[in-house]
Chain A
Amino acid sequence: MKKMPQLGDEVKMELANKYYKINKKLGDGTQGQVYEVEKDGCKLALKWYKPNKATIKQRKMIRELIRIGAPCSRFLWPLDLAVSDKIAGFGYIMDLRAENYKSISELVARRVEPSFKVLCTIAYQLADSYRQLHSRGYCYRDINFNNIFFDPQTGDILICDNDNVGIDGVSEASVLGTQRFMAPEVVRGEKKPSTNTDLFSLAVLLFYIFINNHPLHGKKESQIRCFDLPAMKKIYGEEPVFIFDPQDSSNQPDPREHKNALLSWPLYPQFVKKLFIQSFTKGLNNPNQRVREGQWRKIMLRLRDSIFYCAHCGAENFFDPAKMSVERPGQCWNCKQQLELPYRINIDDAIENTVMLTHEAKLYPHHLKSTSKRDFSQPLAEVVQHPRDPSIWGLKNLDNKKWRVTTKASQIKEVEPGKSVVLASGVEINFGNRYGQIIY
């Protein structure tokens, strides 16, 4: 009996009772190897476990994951168990990852440089996906940048390696995770991975995505030799200190080794920094203080709504309300020229509900209806340019209900579906159960 599959071998899908042929090898990991398999033109991915990893416990776990099904379509979830009477062990079948998807590790290494808008979408989708997994009572256990993939154009994500998923607090973990993503209590060996430790790993991953650096890699890390693993345990487990801890400067970034952190951190608004500070100060050693997926989800949408473009160089910048009283919008991080804010809409008079009305802005149900969930399939409003006078911009009603608009001169008019209201400072729009005010 062969230890591992070879090209041309056939494996049987247990539930579907179909045979798939192995086309090519796609990857090699510590647990197993991944192949492309095919039957009648239908291509899927197969992960086959290495002999020492193909345990009865693992097989039972895969069957359970197949039974419960994926929390959402962003998980490349086990679809069927794969077996063979000629190859030892077993594997499982999942969908293939589209070729345009890149690993987050490529983003962190700056081999792919997507826009801030895409970064916010990745972050939102990550928080939303783990929320869906956790709300079903499961934990992922090994969140790290090698098992998340994203479309650099849209920010859509795919989560791989779901075979380590387990029931929170019940199933025994076969993996402890990747050290730099582990919560301190897991590094110290005090706790096993759980949804609480997933929350820490998620915060590390988000920090990497935006800041391009590990949150605990500062001066202390730059004094440790590359190959010194035991010393790294100190950084992650025994004496973790956030590199931007407002109360403790002992582990600030080292300008020689953490240049990206020093350059990136000032670009982001205070409302995002606040969550990172919470995650890596209070949340470091107190799991109950960790930022929940729902908080990340909300803040990432807010961050995406805060993006506007520099009128001089076109670079994306973030609107930070905390800066407004001090230096207005400030300087562009790229060309250093003074920034000019575009029209923006403030909903229900709350500063956290501000959306920059850039040329591509769209408003969705969660913006305009207080009870709506996040649905990005159907925008309810979008910024449009006047067909005959490109200097005039408007907000087009894409809803099926009319809006009531109060102009600055206190005139009231109705905007039918398909019609637009001209963007002007002071205009108020009644969307039904929410109010918007245009600001410039």
Chain B
Amino acid sequence: MFVQDEDKVKGIKDWIVTGASIKGANHGRRGLPNQDAIKWETENGNLVMAVSDGHGSLKHFRSEIGSKLAVKAAVEIMLEEVDVGNLTDDMLNKIKTRVKDKLPQRIVNQWRDKVKEHYQNNLFSLDRVAQAKLMKLEEEKGIAKRKKIEDNYIKAYGATLLIVLITEKFSLYFQLGDGNISILAEDGKKMLFAAEEQFGPATNSLCMSEASNKVKISLIPFSEELPLFILLSTDGYINSFRNDKDYFKVIDDFIDLAKHHGIEYINENLSQWLEKTSQQGSGDDITLGLVYNQNLFDEDYK
């Protein structure tokens, strides 16, 4: 049963989602497209939200397509793989290893298939924009770099991927590369999923040869922990804050806004707020996905 099913604000029973993606203030000034992407879908009582950040640098010149294909692949595979009927808590514990093992591989494979299809329909040799980018790459980094991308076109589409899956029995978090999945648990604890992965200058990416091995994934039955609020954000968002403490404060802000003004209000204003955040902060593209548990709005809920 859907509580809301409008254009942007969707949900499954007990959950409501919204989100936005904006072109970075710097990107606007430099004539670059928004290289982030966001997508969410509900099907048979399951909800998936995916957020992706295209790498953006010269050699990843098709990353704005890579990120869109990433969220599409994520949503398709998640909804298909999880559609197996009722899972008991006992089954969930037994299936964890298999999910960790297979799901990253299948999502990465699906993304690679989509990239291959796009590339075959849009060969670099027949695309003037791609040719110009390759020429620039050759001028700046040398012919070897150009050849490397031409021989391994998948690199041009490089992007990160964050996913959250909500079913009747559990939540599942998936992270490849930078960006953040922040979770407010029922006991009030705020967590950053796979926080230890956030260090280091280079991000993991879907375009890496062993990308599925780099994925951090966790399936948490509601019997162990029920999330009340989940925030998915590309790194342009956290980089706009002075510190993690300020970043965590937005969790409270988004909950307060939803409680006092409603999700529609957030939905109407989110893009505008994010544009302001980008201008005053990182200057990067920002994408934000918000997943609310209805319990937050239940007056009897403690």
Contacts and interface: CB of A to CB of B under 8 A. Distances in A.
Interface in B80-108: 80-84, 87, 91, 93-95, 97-99, 102-103, 105-106
Given A226-B81, A228-B84, A180 B97 contact: yes
A30 B87 contact: no
B200 to A, nearest CB: 15
Contact of B102 (A111, A226, A229): A226
A256 B98 contact: no
Contacts of B105: 257
A323 B102 CA distance: 35
B140 to A, nearest CB: 32
B213 A111 contact: yes
Contact of A227 (B81, B210, B213): B81
Contacts of B81: 225-227
Given A30-B93, A257-B105, A232 B98 contact: yes
Interface in A26-84: 30
Given A227-B99, A257-B105, A179 B94 contact: yes
A212 B95 CA distance: 19
Contacts of B98: 180, 226, 229, 232
Contacts of A257: 102, 105-106, 109
Given A178-B97, A257-B105, A225 B84 contact: yes
Contact of B95 (A30, A111, A227, A256): A227
Interface residues of B, number: 20
**B-side binding surface: helix, strand, loop or mixed?**
helix
Contact of B87 (A110, A111, A229): A229
Contacts of A110: 210, 213
A386 B201 CA distance: 47
A30 B90 CA distance: 11
Nearest to B224: A28
A229 B213 contact: no
Interface size grouping (class) on chain A: 10 to 19
A109 interface: yes
B222 to A, nearest CB: 15
Interface in A163-222: 178-180
A225 B87 contact: no
Contacts of B102: 226, 257
Given A110-B210, A110-B213, A226 B91 contact: no
B109 A229 contact: no
A226 B93 contact: no
B84 A227 contact: yes
B213 A109 contact: yes
Nearest to B93: A30
Most A-side CB within 10 Å, residue of B83, B87, B98 = B98
19 contacts: A30-B93, A110-B213, A111-B213, A178-B97, A179-B94, A180-B97, A180-B98, A225-B82, A226-B95, A226-B98, A226-B106, A227-B84, A227-B87, A227-B99, A228-B84, A229-B84, A229-B95, A256-B109, A257-B109
Given A180-B97, A225-B84, A227-B95, 14 more contacts: A30-B93, A110-B210, A111-B213, A225-B81, A227-B84, A227-B87, A228-B84, A229-B84, A229-B94, A229-B95, A229-B98, A256-B109, A257-B105, A257-B106
